[in-house]
Amino acid sequence: KKKQKKRARITNRQAKIRQKKKKPNKQTNPIYKRLQQKVKNGIEQPGIPTESIEFIEALDGVKMSEVIIKLAEPLLKKYGDDDIRIETIVSLTIAEWNRLMLPEDEREKFQDVMVDTLSPSDDDAAMVGSLLYISDLIAERKKKYFPNLKKVILNQELIVSDGNITLNISSAPIESNSKPKPI
């Protein structure tokens, strides 16, 4: 006689557990809703109407959170030994990414303001050198890995816990008539 395969029976309890394990989609996930609300609030403050704003997934399939982590990878490997450093590295990478999206003549002004803000005393040459090193490293990695990606980061939510990074980013493509000049 041929052996019949036993069909797996699923109890009600197992079925409920499987339902709970289903991941929420972007429409129902509270993290995305919270991030979308932050973006809307940020746009409403200058008086821009938000009724027509529709949040969509990136058509190009590029997740900016993955882009930022890729750019910051060597810094995270070398200096990412505590949560505060990880937050600093990711934040500086995002600031540098947005700086690189500016027109060339505005990039230097932005960098000067960033250096003055982060290192207010002129005596701290090591801090200025570190900021410029990070800036150059991120610019070089952007040119190498993402030369044609033109998106500005509007908002981010960064959570670091025990070295684990959760990064949610809202971004928008840059219009083709306002292309930044090459790095």
**Residue 157 backbone dihedrals phi, psi, to 5 degrees:** -130, 115
Backbone Cα Rg of the chain: 22
Least confident of 9-23, 72-86, 163-177: 9-23
Instruction: Give the separation between CA 129 and CA 135, rounded to whole angstroms.
Output: 10
Least confident of 7-11, 60-64, 124-128, 144-148: 7-11
pLDDT given at position 178: 47
Residues 160, 61, 73, 112: is their CA dihedral positive or negative?
negative
Higher pLDDT, 61 or 19: 61
Q: 48, 66 in Cβ contact below 8 A? A: no
Residues 68-82 have a mean pLDDT of 92
Residues 21-46 have a mean pLDDT of 62
The percentage of the chain sitting over the pLDDT mark of 70, rounded to a whole number, equals 62
Mean pLDDT estimate for the chain: 77
> DSSP string of 25-52?
-TTT-HHHHHHHHHHHHHHHTTT---TT
Least confident of 17-26, 48-57, 158-167: 17-26
Q: Which of 40, 45, 134, 44 is nearest to 94 (CA)?
A: 134
174 CB-near residues (< 8 Å, 6+ apart): 101, 150, 151, 152, 180
Q: What is the pTM of this model?
A: 0.65
